[in-house]
Chain A
Amino acid sequence: MQEFVELTLGGISDGMIYAAVGLSLVLIWRGTRVLNYAQGGMAMFTSYIAIVVIDAGGSYWLGFVIALASGLLLGAALERVVVRPTAGKPPLNAVIVTIGLLILIEGAAGIIYGSKNRSFPAAYSIVGAKVGNFALGPGSSPTAIFTAASVLAAAGLLALLFRFTPVGLRMRASAFSATVAQLMGVRVGRMTTLGWALAGLIGALAGMLVTPQTFLYPNSMDSIFVLGFTAAVIGGLDSPIGAIVGGLILGVLLNYVTGYVGSNLPELAGLAILVLVLMFRPSGLFASAATRQV
């Protein structure tokens, strides 16, 4: 029973991180029909920026804010400089360009910061809470609660932005129909850049939250990215709520598999979950009904 509670709470905490990565992918996918394979690499790079600030004597929170801000800038800059020219070309072009970006960012991090593992501070204590004699495990630590709270807060703020602000309305309009939005006077290009910037910010948040567990090295976000992508695909790439639900399902199930079956199996279990979900819902759990020809 105790193990079950520990695994569930730990799974929710991990799942929140997958959800954040998934959410950043969904943000970009909805706006531009591009899958950003460089998302994990960008988050890794912003975490390096944070650790440089922290090592130079800044506080953790200064590093945190600078990481998020640089994620915002990095997302906007990459969209404007290298991704924009692929608009209107075959989608494979954007796939290759973002994969190229991933390789470039990881190589650059290797040159600038070296490829040694670095430890990374967590926001708060990572010691789990106890109810009487009943230990709840690291999934109930202040850091884990902060992880869940900050991802949910970010998702909530995004929902408010999209629903209740003029900018959000313009972004939704551009994603729904770029041509019509443009005819109505929306600067669709700017909305795309803004979408990438927000995705960069959410990605940087995910990087700050997960790096204390994984250490920091140029490939440190690779597996997190793959699982976040899986979460977004399970949820349906068009749905932000789907990304969060997909992340939670994946996080909890993978924790059960590592806890009860074998510690080498999370990736295989992830593959099994993904294939099973896609067998019955080929466009993810939360996909809106779509017609398909064949």
Chain B
Amino acid sequence: MTLAKHLGIAILAGLVLLALSSKLDSFRQYQLAQVAATVIAVAGLTVLIGISGQISIGHGAFMFVGGYSTALLVMHLNWPLALVIVASGVVAGVAGAIMGVAAARLRGPYLAGATLMLAVALPAVAFQWQGVFGGDQGLNFTVSTPGFLGANFQLTEWQAWVCCVCALIALVLLANLLRSRVGRNWRALRDNDTAAALAGLNVARLRVSAFIVSAACAGVAGSLLAVTMLNVTPGAFTLALSIQLLTAVVLGGLGSLAGAIWGGIILVLVPPFLTNFAASHGVSAGSASVPIVGYGLVLIVVMLVFPTGIQGGVRRLLGLARPTATGQASAIGRRWQLAWKPAGSNTAVGNAADNSAGSAAAGTQIAASEAATKDGVAEEGTR
């Protein structure tokens, strides 16, 4: 039933995008392709952070793996595009499995540190083995539009189609996964890993599987970005990309796939908008830095004022499922507090008591999480 619902929404969205893509000029088609690719990566990361309760500051590394796999497969083996994209996802998933096994014992800041180092270290591979990966220049390749679309069909429109179809498939798969047993187990793990283990769940295997799913999504996203730009360079997969993915997850709304769509749109469309804005208002000297400043400000303000992100705001505006929205955010909060708090210390509690505003916020959070426990069947089951 859920499968039918998700499929229905996806097919509807696909038709709208199909109608839309032919109306856009080629630059907008290029941007649409980028948004679709980014949404996949952000959705994968929101599964890892918001649903399974682990952090990664290094997801750009898995996009790097996906992008270079695509370039190498197209250049050397000349596989059909669909197969290349799937294979890139699989390769990135294997990389995620390796990282996940290493990371399964790590918590909070230690996991953050390991993934951060991964994002910094992996692009160095391209410089060390220049013969294979092309060094600083990266790799260039070509894809062509399939013959049945006719000779005059725009390449950018074809790229936008490919990216949008992949994004819709990925979102349907993820949405179903989150509604399935696996998704419930991840949430149980996030909310209380001791309880999850006592209930018979294999905690380590669940952690690794979340890493694999998330890395495979990032790999497909990297592959699609490569197909859109027709090249891959180490400069496209810097630490900045990883941090942008993380911020898109939070800005969109942690733990919600709809939020991932918002996050992807912001990530691609807002920086050029800010650059144009700065240029048209006479800030020319450091105009490249203006979007960076705006981006940093937005992050801080959103986090301090709207911690549930855009999707949280949308839900509140619509008055839809309010307890679920806040409840989910606070459930994530509790999981994070557990992970980051050292044994035998109550720093977090002490800081909350430090000022009255903080303790009031903590109070509402507890109330909200109790509401969530009452209405979330999955959470109830693990207690």
Contact = CB atoms under 8 A, between A and B. Distances in A.
Contact of A100 (B290, B297, B336, B350): B297
A106 to B, nearest CB: 6
A179 B352 CA distance: 9
Interface in A279-294: 279, 282-284, 290-294
B124 interface: yes
Given A92-B49, A188-B350, A292 B296 contact: no
Contacts of B339: 91
A101 B300 contact: yes
Interface string B177-211: 00000000000000001101100000100000000
Contacts of B5: none
A270 B354 contact: no
A154 interface: no
Nearest to A178: B350
Nearest to B290: A111
Contacts of B197: 293-294
Interface string A30-58: 00110100000000000000000000000
Interface stretch (A69-77, A156-164, A229-237): A229-237
A182 to B, nearest CB: 7
Contacts of B345: 176-177
B351 A274 contact: no
Q: Is the interface of B mostly helix, strand, loop or mixed?
A: helix
Contact of B114 (A114, A218, A275): A275
Nearest to B362: A88
A4 to B, nearest CB: 23
A260 B353 CA distance: 53
A283 B294 CA distance: 36
Given A178-B351, A229-B116, A103 B299 contact: yes
Given A99-B243, A267-B121, A279-B102, A88 B289 contact: no
Q: Is the interface of A mostly helix, strand, loop or mixed?
A: helix
A145 interface: no
B159 interface: no
A107 B347 contact: no
Given A100-B296, A182-B353, A294-B194, A267 B117 contact: yes
Given A233-B113, A264-B124, A294-B193, A115 B288 contact: yes
Interface in A205-237: 218, 222-223, 226, 229-230, 232-233, 237
* A33, A105, A109, A175 pick with most chain B CB within 10 angstroms: A33
Contacts of B297: 100, 104
Contacts of A278: 102, 105-106, 110, 114
A107 B278 CA distance: 13
A29 interface: yes
B299 A91 contact: no
Contacts of A265: 124, 128
Contact of A114 (B112, B285, B355): B285
Contact of B110 (A86, A262, A284): A284
Interface string A93-121: 10111011111111111111011000000
B346 interface: yes
Contacts of A95: 55, 112
B14 interface: no
Nearest to A104: B296
Interface of A: 29, 32-33, 35, 82, 84-93, 95-97, 99-112, 114-115, 174-179, 181-182, 188-189, 192, 218, 222-223, 226, 229-230, 232-233, 237-238, 262, 264-268, 270-271, 274-275, 278-279, 282-284, 290-294
Given A111-B283, A218-B289, 5 more contacts: A192-B351, A230-B117, A264-B124, A264-B127, A283-B110
16 contacts: A88-B354, A89-B361, A90-B336, A91-B108, A91-B336, A92-B332, A97-B299, A100-B247, A100-B298, A179-B350, A189-B354, A218-B289, A268-B121, A270-B120, A275-B102, A278-B102
